[in-house]
Structure 1
């Protein structure tokens, strides 16, 4: 998929989109449970969902970064069924917002369709 930004396309080609928990320079995928203290580092809208959820509820957070300038691109919060609950795009320029939307499409694809990171 072409995002329109060559650097992001190269990162996707190099790292793929994570389907399992883990981290690299481009992305980080983490599992949280309701009330998890690690939610303090999330954007406020995501923090509220996780902090006020029952302990039995599980969430997955997927963050994307630009390693060249250590900037955040986007964060996505999913419930245990894989449904998107919240998304935050850190970029305000329209071109970068489009990139974030394409990343969201990639993250929401069924696991079998995702190019796995090596």
Structure 2
């Protein structure tokens, strides 16, 4: 058995795992096999957010061609000192970070919305080019929404660690 046969057998075997597991640990383990696959199962404690994640999935890709754009989440790429900063209504902490960065630095702004609350903002995450969370802001003050915000932030960080370990 050569390397290509071994890899093809393992890739087909690993892709047969379902992302529909009941536990977050199993979901993260499955994501390790898939790499940059979107997360489509999450238990945040709020059923409506869980349904949104299941319906739209959370897209962890930071490639410009695969950014998320749906009712639940929107992603956009900004560069340091970008002229478009004034039009995106970013939180002041994110605005100052991007405005102070050099023009070569790439940032991904990942926003989550609650469509069942007339599209009110839920959270905004600022990621660097490597996919690490630099800044995060939650717009909801309810304890359950803050807990869901932290769970999503943890999943983004875990996906970044998994992608780094796969790349290494």
Bin for the TM-score computed over the shorter chain? 0.7 to 0.9
d(CA) in 1 for partners of 2:149, 2:98: 22
d(CA) in 1 for partners of 2:44, 2:139: 16
2:150 aligned residue: 101
Structure with max Cα Rg:
2
Q: CA deviation at 1:102?
A: 1.1
Normalising by structure 2, report the TM-score. 0.63
1:3 aligned residue: 44
The number of residue pairs the alignment matches comes to: 114
Structure with the larger helix share: 2
d(CA) in 1 for partners of 2:155, 2:85: 24
Structure with the larger strand share: 1
d(CA) in 2 for partners of 1:80, 1:96: 27
Asked which structure has the greater RCO (Cα within 8 Å, sep 6+), the reply is 1
d(CA) in 2 for partners of 1:67, 1:38: 25
RMSD: 1.9
Unaligned runs of 5+ in 1: 114-118
1:67 aligned residue: 115
2:103 aligned residue: 55
Unaligned runs of 5+ in 2: 1-41, 62-66, 163-168
Please state whether the residue corresponding to 1:22 is helix, strand or coil.
coil
Cα-to-partner distance string for 1:28-54 (whole Å, 9 max, x where unaligned): 111110011332321000000111111
